Amino acid sequence: MSPPVPHLPDLRPTIAALPGSQIRAVANAALGRPDVLAFWFGESDQVTPEPVRAAAAESLARGETFYSHNLGLPELRQALRQYLAGLHGDPGDERIAVTSSGVTALMTAMQLLLSPGDEVVCVVPVWPNLPAQPAILGARLTRVPLAPDAHGAWRLDLQRLLQAVTPATRVLLLNAPNNPTGWTLTRDEQQAILDHCRRTGTWIVADEVYDRLWYGDGPAPAAGGARPASPACAPSFADLATPQDRVIVVGSFSKAFLMTGWRLGWLLLPAGLIGPTGTLIEFNSSCAPVFVQRGGLQALALADTLVPPLVAHLHHCRDTLCDALATVPGVHLARPQAGMYAFFSMPGSGDSLACAQALVAEHGLGLAPGAAFGAEAQGWLRWCFASRDPQRLLDGVERLRGALRI
Amino acid sequence: MSPPVPHLPDLRPTIAALPGSQIRAVANAALGRPDVLAFWFGESDQVTPEPVRAAAAESLARGETFYSHNLGLPELRQALRQYLAGLHGDPGDERIAVTSSGVTALMTAMQLLLSPGDEVVCVVPVWPNLPAQPAILGARLTRVPLAPDAHGAWRLDLQRLLQAVTPATRVLLLNAPNNPTGWTLTRDEQQAILDHCRRTGTWIVADEVYDRLWYGDGPAPAAGGARPASPACAPSFADLATPQDRVIVVGSFSKAFLMTGWRLGWLLLPAGLIGPTGTLIEFNSSCAPVFVQRGGLQALALADTLVPPLVAHLHHCRDTLCDALATVPGVHLARPQAGMYAFFSMPGSGDSLACAQALVAEHGLGLAPGAAFGAEAQGWLRWCFASRDPQRLLDGVERLRGALRI
């Protein structure tokens, strides 16, 4: 008897329902078109600095091709502790785990905290990976929307967020500085959120991978004054939380060190969670490659040399793009205080996916549709301004003008 | 009012209950002791071949440091298709995804298939990551034990396994060749299992990362005769399953190419699952580093040069160790047909963790306790024989003799 064979694989309904990437849906329209100016992905077009690549190559030449500690090389964990100490004050012992990317760090945090059915509150719009992870684990998501003000700057209704977080809320998921909107939590808002979550017993998972791409003023010193004079950095929950707080902060080498393709990130955890975190890393990926971690070590050693010029360059890119977009009639945007995205609306962007597809197909301009980040951002477009050559940004704006027939 | 602060972080009970690694518990006893002969981890002490490391270094020098496709470089996926075609017959289009390690491939398969509460049947003892992954996702695990015969060879009771797999069973999880026992499914057993799972609608997730470390005869050709004259390889579900079967096969560069520290593996999926798999990879890790994938490409290009001598060397290592252990009175073991472990019992190994800890502390011999792989393997010890210098294995056996006062 011939066995019955399914026509379509019966994967989990939850997984079948996960949205495909709308950014990919746009980018696919540009396959084989070298004329397209692509600003859709969240990465710079600059190669990782040479000393970082050399450190990895030297590690390979030395033969560092074996398994390593689940939590990362001890020297990298120590270097991260010193790096974070310079930004936020010393986190103390045994609070840092190295992960195979920032998104992996986030998934590890979710696995630590979320049982099936648990409630998660997430501020949106946000890059799609954040709300997808709780769904994969069977948790329930409540979306608290940011909204644009009259100037196109996205704002948080703090009271609405605090009302949404109750003792039934297991995790509050925050990405600030935010991808795609550039919205950033103020120090006062972070303190109010932390105070509230202490009362409700809610965990805060803070995706702060854009912390160094900060064009605002330095944050005010944390209460207690222990925080050292620091490099420029967005306000962080790491400035406020004690080692006993239910706060997990996720960082990454991707954005501030031009290392997107390396897949290297970290977790800053409360005291006492490092053991189970190592166990989860073992069961998900086991460890990050040693030679990749050697690159991370070199990046941290050169942080004071590499990061400030990169941020200054991105600051210039932001102003170049935003100044140019501001001269385009109908374009509505605010200058973001952080991150590497201009987020704007314009005539014809109401269906942002169709608009982005038309922009690439007809004008060779590659942008990400706002709808990729949630229905709340329908009608908006994301433009990554991390470009080695700012002239590319101006060329892109000319194409936008062409699309608008201006 | 000062907020209440927890003394211990309240992570998920499921995660708190995950067992820590008993291998690490033994290895920790050897920290700072260079005199220890360590055979506890599942990797060779040989560095990755130089051409593979050079390919990655050249990629870094070229500046391949950007995000890449979720599913892997198209050329690596094509090379894997050709490699698997040589072993099992052409799998066809769009069935291979590159993952950031074999264990990551397994977790991706679990996320594709397992909803909370789903039933998983797993043949044990087995490396601890396999049963841990369903637990992390809230699935329920039924363990079907192998058992050692009078000669110390671990055997499957096929009827017992088939009775355990019912229409309520969502996934059958198999690691064959098996870590730690060396047990391997025969072609006939695979066919019977596949036939049964076709009837019950159960998915087979086959962890076959030890497929090339095969010291038996070549498997019989698959029904239909489409399978080409192949390099030596353990029987594989990839030989039997059609693209419509609910079968996922997991492979890895780690063992056959001496690339444990690279974290590079793959999934062979049914037709139609590649899209959701790319989405899950995006949400878990996004992609493997391009320079790591360039190493994998070079490894596949050199597979016919690299793998057969490695397997011949491991074959020699196996015989060296097993011959020596066979002369030790009280040691009970069978020669494994596959893999890189000798799995044995001896007087005093009844509490395998205590025994392994005593062996390392008092005799400088580092073995993995059987209990690390499940209660079914309590009383046994695992010895990794993948050693560049077989004399190390003989030195280890001398230490074992010392421990047994022989």
Q: CATH no. for residue B25?
A: 3.90.1150.10
- Please indicate, yes or no, whether residues A379 and A329 belong to a single structural domain of this protein: yes
- Please indicate, yes or no, whether residues B17 and B133 belong to a single structural domain of this protein: no
- Please indicate, yes or no, whether residues A273 and A328 belong to a single structural domain of this protein: no
Token pair belonging to B92: 């066809």
Spell out which residues of chain B touch residue A5, defining contact as CB-CB under 8 Å: 198, 242, 244-245
Whether the pLDDT of residue B340 is over 90: the answer is: yes
Determine, yes or no, domain membership for B2.
no
pLDDT in tens, B193-215: 999 999 999 999 999 999 999 99
Determine, yes or no, domain membership for B57.
no
CATH number at residue A121: 3.40.640.10
Of the three residues A302, A327, A351, the one that is the final residue of a domain is A302
B129–A282: do the CB atoms touch at under 8 Å?
A: yes
Per the structure, how many domains does chain B have? 2
- Please indicate, yes or no, whether residues A293 and A314 belong to a single structural domain of this protein: no
CA distance B318 to A88: 53
**Radius of gyration for the alpha carbons in chain A, expressed in angstroms and rounded:** 21
pLDDT in tens, B323-335: 999 999 999 999 9
Q: Is B268 on the interface with A (CB under 8 A)?
A: no
- pLDDT band at B116; cut points 50, 70, 90: very high
HSE-CB at B357 with a 13 A cutoff on CA atoms is: 13
- pLDDT band at B31; cut points 50, 70, 90: confident
Q: Which residue of B has its CA nearest to A109?
A: B11
- Please indicate, yes or no, whether residues B273 and B175 belong to a single structural domain of this protein: yes
CA distance B169 to B204: 10
Mean pLDDT of A294-323: 97
pLDDT in tens, B94-109: 999 999 999 999 999 9
- Please indicate, yes or no, whether residues A298 and A311 belong to a single structural domain of this protein: no
- Please indicate, yes or no, whether residues B287 and B313 belong to a single structural domain of this protein: no
Asked if B181 and B175 touch (Cβ cutoff 8 Å), the reply is: no
CA-CA-CA-CA dihedral for A56, A61, A67, A72, to nearest 10: -30
Of the three residues B301, B326, B360, the one that is the final residue of a domain is B301
Interface test with B, best of A11, A24, A95 (most B CBs within 10 A): A11
For A330, the domain range is: 13-48+305-403
Q: Looking at the complex, report in whole angstroms how far the Cα of residue A326 sits from the nearest Cα belonging to chain B.
A: 30
Whether the pLDDT of residue B404 is over 80: the answer is: yes
Q: What share of chain A is helix, strand, coil (3-state, %, to 5)?
A: 40, 15, 45
- Please indicate, yes or no, whether residues B116 and B194 belong to a single structural domain of this protein: yes
Whether the pLDDT of residue B220 is over 60: the answer is: no
- pLDDT band at B30; cut points 50, 70, 90: confident
Q: Looking at the complex, report in whole angstroms how far the Cα of residue B66 sits from the nearest Cα belonging to chain A.
A: 4
Determine, yes or no, domain membership for A6.
no
Determine, yes or no, domain membership for A7.
no
- Please indicate, yes or no, whether residues B273 and B355 belong to a single structural domain of this protein: no
- Please indicate, yes or no, whether residues B296 and B312 belong to a single structural domain of this protein: no
Percent of chain B topping pLDDT 70: 94
Asked if A100 and B265 touch (Cβ cutoff 8 Å), the reply is: no
- Please indicate, yes or no, whether residues A24 and A108 belong to a single structural domain of this protein: no
Average pLDDT, rounded, for chain A: 93
pLDDT in tens, B285-322: 999 999 999 999 999 999 999 999 999 999 999 999 99
pLDDT in tens, A326-385: 999 999 999 999 999 999 999 999 999 999 999 999 999 999 999 999 999 999 999 999
The H-or-E segment that residue B308 falls in is helix B303-326
Q: Which residue of A has its CA nearest to B279?
A: A20
- pLDDT band at A8; cut points 50, 70, 90: low
- Please indicate, yes or no, whether residues B150 and B242 belong to a single structural domain of this protein: yes
Of the three residues B274, B301, B328, the one that is the final residue of a domain is B301
- pLDDT band at B406; cut points 50, 70, 90: confident
Lowest mean pLDDT among A360-364, B11-15, B26-30, B158-162: B26-30
Mean pLDDT of B339-351: 97
For residue A327, give the 3-state DSSP assignment. coil
Spell out which residues of chain A touch residue B117, defining contact as CB-CB under 8 Å: 116
Whether the pLDDT of residue B89 is over 50: the answer is: yes
Note the pLDDT of residue A223.
47
Residues 6+ apart with CB under 8 A from B258: A65, B44, B46, B47, B48, B49, B306, B310
Determine, yes or no, domain membership for B53.
no
